[in-house]
Each structure stands twice: as C-alpha cells, then as structure tokens.
Amino acid sequence: IFTHPYRSENALRNRFLGTLRHKLSTYIEDPGILKKFKEYLPNSN
C-alpha cells in the first residue's frame, strides 16, 4: 500500500503537536512549571 509520505508525515506531526500543545496547556496551569518553562525560554514573554 503506497501512501503519500508527506501527507502521512504531516498528519503525524499535527497529531504530535496537538498532544504536545495539550500537555503544555495542562502544565502551564501549574505556576511552578510555568516559571521553570520560562527559564528554558528566556525570549518568550
């Protein structure tokens, strides 16, 4: 079965980013984790 590699790779990345964004949103609710997160990303406001 041949599937377009770009399309499947894109879907995989979108699903990965979706779960990552969901995990981040739950982590950010914790102020301690948010503070640590900002230490890793000093450029983010």
DSSP string, 1-45: ----HHHHHHHHHHHHHHHHHHHHHHHHTSHHHHHHHHHH-TT--
Domain membership of residue 4 (yes or no) is no
List the structure tokens of 33. Answer: 């984790």
Domain membership of residue 25 (yes or no) is yes
pLDDT digits (tens, 9 = 90+) for 5-38: 667 888 888 888 888 888 877 766 677 776 777 7
Question: Domain limits at 30?
Answer: 9-40
Domain membership of residue 2 (yes or no) is no
Q: How many domains does the chain have?
A: 1
Q: What is the pLDDT of residue 35?
A: 77
Q: What is the pLDDT of residue 7?
A: 77
pLDDT digits (tens, 9 = 90+) for 31-43: 777 677 777 776 6
Residue 2 has pLDDT above 70, yes or no: no
Domain membership of residue 15 (yes or no) is yes
List the structure tokens of 21. Answer: 């964004």
Q: What is the pLDDT of residue 43?
A: 65
Domain membership of residue 26 (yes or no) is yes
Domain membership of residue 14 (yes or no) is yes
